[in-house]
Amino acid sequence: MTTILINGRSATVSDPPEVPLLWVLRDSLALTGTKYGCGVGQCGACTVHVDGAAVRSCVMPLSAVGARPVATIEGLAPAGRLHELQQAWLDERVSQCGYCQPGMLMSAAALLARVPSPSETQVRESITNLCRCGTYPRVLRAVLRAAVQP
């Protein structure tokens, strides 16, 4: 059994330590907002936060999490409220099919927590998630909209 801190609560799971965090979240904890895309750390659909940093959960074994807090898209904002990035996403009509969007939002949130007022270049370089619907220009506008204005 392993206990992890997830979205501010502790949870105990019976997954083996080598199981990727993605499958612990989706299959054992029913946190299905985190998506499976490539499974090899390339697309970013599975992005969550571990100790505030964006990580690709498909390539992080459960054993690597340790005592560090994990946050998923379900925990991005307090219940019943929108994170400023989610509001900016709505304002810019970012989402198309939506599949990549939880990962995009988690990457963006980690960036703004680290760099509250990023440049356009910093956004482009920090958010390397893939989107088959081509929402990249809208993602950029939404992140800059949600950022602290310089």
Residues that bind ligand FES (CB under 6 A): 36-39, 41-46, 56, 58, 95-101, 131-133, 135
- Shortest spacing between CB 149 and ligand FES, in angstroms: 26
Residue 96: CB minimum distance to ligand FES, A:
4
With respect to ligand FES, which residue has the nearer C-beta, 46 or 106?
Answer: 46
Query: In the complex, what is the shortest distance from the CB of residue 145 to ligand FES, in angstroms, rounded to a whole number?
Result: 18
Least distance to ligand FES, CB of residue 14, Å:
23
Pick the closer one to ligand FES by CB: 8 or 98: 98
SS (H, E, C) the chain: CEEEEECCEEEEECCCCCCEHHHHHHHHCCCCCCCCCCCCCCCCCCEEEECCEEEEHHHCEHHHCCCCCEECHHHCCCCCCCCHHHHHHHHCCCCCCCCCHHHHHHHHHHHHHHCCCCCHHHHHHHCCCCCCCCCHHHHHHHHHHHCCCC
